[in-house]
Amino acid sequence: MPLIVAVDATGLGRVKTGTAVYVLEILRIWNEDKHLTAHFHVFVSPKTKHYFDELSLDSRFEYHFAPDGRGVRSLWQHLVLPFAVARVRCDVHWGATFVVPVLSRCPCVVTVHDMTFQTLPAVHERVKRWYFGTVIGWSLAKARVALAISETTKADIARLYPAIAQKIRVTLLGPRAFGGEVVGRLAADGSPEPYVLAIGTLEPRKNLPRLLRAWCALAPAIRGRTRLYVAGPDGWMMGELSARETQEAYGVQFLGYFEEARLRELLQGAMLLAYPSLYEGFGLPVIEAMSVGVPVLTSGVGATAEVAGDAAYLVDPLDQESIRTGLERLLKDPGLRETLSARGRARAATFSWRRTAELTFQALEEVARRS
């Protein structure tokens, strides 16, 4: 008999960020494995269905739709979803984005992407801070297995919820396949102008104000013709991105949100990736940049340090001067960039989405079997 799995992907937003990449990559690999004996009931929001359409999932995957709207969806997730899962007789329920329903009678596995709703609450909107700060604890208590996407996140969960530490498993993420090499380093407009790339939603956690101040503090002779491109969707509380920091004279350009294919081109063409985030549960841009040989400057705290190892230039995300010094060294020293490029490729090769998908399915199988 095939394993019947409920996949709760209703927490994904309109913009494809890290959690969406996580769910889609795992489903893609399960779909490619034609020997995988399972049937998946995938619960999604109508606004994100197009993500899944791109995967061309086969008949083992069946869609069910949740209502739109954050508040309504959250209520539906806890009060209606458990009965929808019971109706299709699922063996196991996978909460892929932090949450499993409090009323669920189906054995559950939950993925926790980070614990910043509790460890770094100021970087989240108040409503999200309250909701996830409460619901993650419930979900961890309810789940038979908790999947953490890094050792860092596992340690954070265990510190905050020591009673459930034994049921935490680590399923590291991986880089997506980016295809062929980009010849040369091209600017956003296609010209051969060198650029540093910053990727991420414009929100406090990404630490953009400090990065921009550090960039503007570089001597003009060091910046030279190099530009700083900031690629990512609008978030919240980014009033600190002052007019001075975005002036063309400093070579800063906000590109907004890019579709996946164009963002890959931008990443592959970058002179280096600047990602001094305050804290991450994994840090997908870091591993993806390293996988294509782009040198990385990133935070020395949180999971970015774990993921990067010795293959990136690590900075103190709270110290503007540390970020400025890192940028200066990388811009001035092509030998250092070449060293980090080679180390990054080797490091990234040890991470795999296929392994993530295998470990996730193993956890689902085990929970269903034990029940």
Question: Of 105, 306, 321, 69, which is closest to residue 214 (Cα–Cα)?
Answer: 321
- pLDDT value at position 241? 59
Instruction: Determine how β-strand 38-44 pairs with β-strand 61-65.
Output: parallel
Is the confidence at residue 365, as pLDDT, over 80?
A: yes
Domains of the chain: residue spans and CATH? 3-174+352-370 (3.40.50.2000), 195-348 (3.40.50.2000)
- pLDDT value at position 268? 92
Reported confidence tier of residue 224, pLDDT bands at 50, 70, 90: confident
Q: Stretch 160-169: mean pLDDT, rounded? A: 97
Is the confidence at residue 245, as pLDDT, over 60?
A: no
Q: Is 228 exposed, middle or buried (0-12, 13-18, 19+ CB in 10 A)?
A: buried
Q: Stretch 252-260: mean pLDDT, rounded? A: 84
Angle 204-113-46 from CA coordinates, rounded to 5°? 90
Q: Could you tell me the end-to-end alpha-carbon distance of the chain, in angstroms, rounded to an integer? A: 15
Is the confidence at residue 318, as pLDDT, over 60?
A: yes
Out of 130-134, 139-143, 291-295, 297-301, which region has the weakest mean confidence (pLDDT)?
130-134
Q: Stretch 115-127: mean pLDDT, rounded? A: 87
Element holding 79 (H helix, E strand): helix 70-79
Reported confidence tier of residue 5, pLDDT bands at 50, 70, 90: very high
Is the confidence at residue 283, as pLDDT, over 90?
A: yes
- pLDDT value at position 258? 79
Q: How far apart are CA 154 and CA 317, in angstroms?
A: 22
Q: Stretch 135-163: mean pLDDT, rounded? A: 97
- 367 versus 54: the higher-pLDDT residue is 367
DSSP string covering 163-228:
GGGGGEEE----PPP--SPPSS---TTSSS--EEEEES-BSGGG-HHHHHHHHHTS-HHHHTT-EE
Is the confidence at residue 189, as pLDDT, over 70?
A: no
DSSP string covering 213-258:
HHHHTS-HHHHTT-EEEEE--B-S--TTS-TGGG-GGGTEEEEE--
- 104 versus 371: the higher-pLDDT residue is 104
DSSP string covering 33-49:
-TT--EEEEEEE-GGGH
3-state SS class at 289 = helix
Is the confidence at residue 306, as pLDDT, over 50?
A: yes
- 6 versus 73: the higher-pLDDT residue is 6
Reported confidence tier of residue 16, pLDDT bands at 50, 70, 90: confident
Which token pair is 161? 């919820």
Mean predicted lDDT score pLDDT of the chain: 91
Element holding 268 (H helix, E strand): helix 260-268
- pLDDT value at position 235? 73
- What is the chain's Cα-based Rg? 21
Q: Stretch 315-341: mean pLDDT, rounded? A: 98
Out of 99-108, 147-156, 165-174, 249-258, which region has the weakest mean confidence (pLDDT)?
249-258
Which token pair is 133? 């700060």
- pLDDT value at position 179? 58
Out of 8-22, 171-185, 224-238, which region has the weakest mean confidence (pLDDT)?
171-185
Q: What is the largest CA-CA distance in the chain?
A: 67
Which token pair is 234? 């609008």
Of the chain, the percentage scoring pLDDT greater than 70 comes to 93
* All residues at 6 or more sequence positions from 64 whose CB lies less than 8 Å from its CB, including other chains: 41, 42, 43, 44, 84, 88
- pLDDT value at position 201? 85
- pLDDT value at position 244? 44
Edge to edge, the sheet with strand 168-170 lists 61-65, 38-44, 3-8, 92-95, 108-112, 145-148, 168-170
